[in-house]
Amino acid sequence: MLLQSIVIASAFLASGSIAWNKDVHQQIGHSAEHFLTPTTKSILYQILEPKYNNSIGLAAAWADDYAHTPEGAFSYQWHWIDSADEPPHYCNVYYHRDCSEGGCVVSAIANQTQILRNCVHRVKSGDLVDGEDLQCSYALKWVVHFLGDIAQPLHASGVAAGGNGIKVIFANQTTELHAVWDAWIVYADANVTSFPNTTIQPFFKHLVSRIQEDDFSIPPFEWIACSDPSRPLECALSWARDSNALNCDYVFAHAINDIDLATSGYATGAFPIVELQMSKAILRMATWLNRLVAGDHDREAGVVLQTEPGSLLGLSSKE
């Protein structure tokens, strides 16, 4: 029940994060493993360091910890893209306008996917085994993490640093809007205080089943309409726009000030949204990695990026 989660959630509101909470990232990774092919698993396990015990789920939260270290501080801003829009009135993301000079989640997915593609080739040729190349392991861990990040609506919002600068109340505790979407809505929906880091939890098992059964308002084939690793910038931008639209549709479209979001109906209304977004991350991640390993890339004419927001989508078809 939501009320039970509200009572126990206050103990966790003091902790901060820059993405879905670590345990949520891990559950998304564990869930994605259910959709990986045996070949993909065998290749990825040669790329990951042995300490992750052949599990992208265990590795899925590494990027947050690394971003908070002196040597990894450069990657901190890779976890989001700061859209210069005005939710709830207007929402959109333009790469050349919104991606910072030091990078963003869109460019990070694109760049690390390119590195990871080479690492896959090296494994296939026998040149890489047992996670011995840290650059390759880092690339895989970043790709897994950022495909989770980009599905969280406030990772595609420039409003008050993705909601980090907006104080709200949840379960009678003061926190930030970003933290509410990172974890507290998810915990309340699942009626837990946290998720295990080593195995998939029943809440996420149910999401996996729903994906397999096509049990969502938006069919899963639409989530992966762009899932060609040879066009990583294009696809990552489309995912950012998909998440960004929710800032107009829900995140900032309802009252958030001077009310308790846990009991006002805001959290309950957000349950289907976080379930859908996490499910998108799960299926996109698995599809992306499967196609990267298989070399199964789309051959259809795609779209090209415009450097200026001259159209509603900022994209135009190739001739």
Q: For the segment 217-245, what is each residue's pLDDT rounded down to a tens digit?
A: 999 999 999 999 999 999 999 999 999 99
On the question of pLDDT at 311 being above 50, the answer is: no
For residue 301, count CB atoms less than 10 angstroms from its CB and return exposed for 0-12, middle for 13-18, buried for 19 or more: exposed
309 has pLDDT over 80: no
Q: Which has more pLDDT, 261 or 306?
A: 261
> Which comes out higher in pLDDT, residue 140 or 16?
140
* Residue 307 resides in a domain: no
67 in any annotated domain: yes
Burial of 282 by CB count in 10 Å (0-12 exposed, 13-18 middle, 19+ buried)?
A: buried
Q: Does residue 116 belong to any structural domain of this protein? A: yes
pLDDT of residue 4: 45
Could you identify the residue written with the tokens 């360091």?
49
Query: Is the residue at 15 inside a domain?
Result: yes
What integer is the mean pLDDT of 285-314?
A: 58
CA angle 161, 166, 168 (to 5 degrees): 145
Percent of the chain with pLDDT over 70: 87
Q: Which tokens sit at 129? A: 């085994």
- Average pLDDT rounded to a whole number, residues 43-48: 98
Q: Would you say residue 313 has pLDDT above 70?
A: no
One-letter amino acid for residue 130 of the chain:
D
Per mean pLDDT, which range of 12-26, 45-59, 108-122, 256-270 is the poorest? Answer: 12-26
Q: Is residue 315 part of a domain?
A: no
pLDDT value for 236: 98
Residue 8, in any domain of the structure:
yes
Top pLDDT among 300 and 109 is at 109
What average pLDDT is seen over the chain?
Answer: 89
Cα distance between residue 208 and residue 199, in whole Å = 14
What is the C-alpha separation between 80 and 182, in angstroms, rounded?
A: 13
CATH number at residue 33: 1.10.575.10
At position 19, the amino acid (one-letter code) is: A
| Predicted pLDDT at 19 | 62
| Residue listed under structure tokens 């900022």 | 314
Q: Is 263 exposed, middle or buried (0-12, 13-18, 19+ CB in 10 A)?
A: middle
The parent domain of residue 125 ranges over 2-295
Can you give the pTM of this predicted structure? 0.89
Q: What is the pLDDT of residue 302?
A: 32
In this predicted structure, the answer to whether residue 209 has a pLDDT above a threshold of 70 is yes
Is the pLDDT reported for residue 141 higher than 90?
yes
Structural domain total, the chain: 1
Question: pLDDT value at position 18?
Answer: 55
Rounded mean pLDDT, 184-200? 96
Residue 220 maps to a domain:
yes
pLDDT value, residue 299: 39
Q: How far is CA 140 from CA 119, 237, 308, 309, in A?
A: 9, 19, 31, 31
pLDDT for position 59: 98
pLDDT-based confidence at residue 20 (cuts at 50, 70, 90): confident
Banded pLDDT at 34 (limits 50, 70, 90):
very high
Mean pLDDT score, 144-164? 97
